[in-house]
Amino acid sequence: MMAKMVFAAGTSHTPMLLAADETLPRFAETDQKMKHRDKEGRPVTYGDLLEKADPKLAHLVAPENLVARQNVARAAARRLRDALNAAALDALIVFGDDQNESYLEDCRPTFAIYCGDTIRNGNAQHRTYSGLPDWYICNRAAFFEPVVPRDYPVDAALALHLIERLSEAEFDLAASKSLRAGEGEGHARRRSRSCRCSSIPIFRPTSRARAAATSSARRCAGRSRRTLLMCGSACWPREA
């Protein structure tokens, strides 16, 4: 019996989803200092993006509207958590970006599939974020374990199957079985931790870091997203 895909979902994983109401307006402080890229991947400043922003959207980020919009997002996150658990999955394939967490400048693949037996979620910030303000660090703390690091199960056999099948289909993949010493998984996978099943993390460099680690549009055009999933998991000879 072949595997069946029975659930799919997408969500933002911004720290704003974890933010306390009083800190919501303060994200402009850190946004102004971060490096940004436009939709074409060109380096731009916060001011450049602000200048191009549609003025009709200004009311959405007005302080009086931020909490109301945040509560809508919080409710949606709860619905996603409940739906994920109700699906009773055997395995969950998690796509997430990596922001200088698991992969640094010494090795930054286009895609990487984690294939260890377990993956650790830490209880401390990644070194990349150590210089951020205390209020920002406090918001991000919800991505991590509250007291001590914890190892979560990974469906390593399915991960290896994905690597083999997708490599045959000419996807440019990297694989890893462990994380750097003292480091836990990146923030993007933390959202899946309410699921009571094994997971397979698939990493993608963040837009700020992937300029030199991205397949060309010409190469990507010949490989559809449908192939990425169907070639990999639907050919797995077990129901999942």
Q: What is the pLDDT of residues 144-168, one digit of tens each?
A: 888 888 888 888 888 888 888 888 8
Pairwise CA distance, residues 8 & 5, whole Å: 8
Is the residue at 237 inside a domain?
no
Average pLDDT over residues 40-45: 88
**Alpha helix locations (H) across 87-148?**
134-140
Average pLDDT over residues 42-49: 92
Average pLDDT over the chain, rounded to an integer: 77
Q: How many domains does the chain have?
A: 1
Average pLDDT over residues 59-70: 87
Banded pLDDT at 47 (limits 50, 70, 90): very high
Instruction: Answer whether residue 130 shows pLDDT above 80.
Output: no
The residue ranking higher by pLDDT, 10 or 103, is 10
What range defines the domain where residue 110 resides? 15-230
pLDDT at 43: 92
Is the residue at 10 inside a domain?
no
Is the residue at 85 inside a domain?
yes
Is the residue at 5 inside a domain?
no
Is the residue at 92 inside a domain?
yes
Percent of the residues in the chain that have a pLDDT greater than 90, as a whole number: 5
Pairwise CA distance, residues 77 & 75, whole Å: 5
Backbone φ, ψ for residue 92 (5° rounding): -130, 125
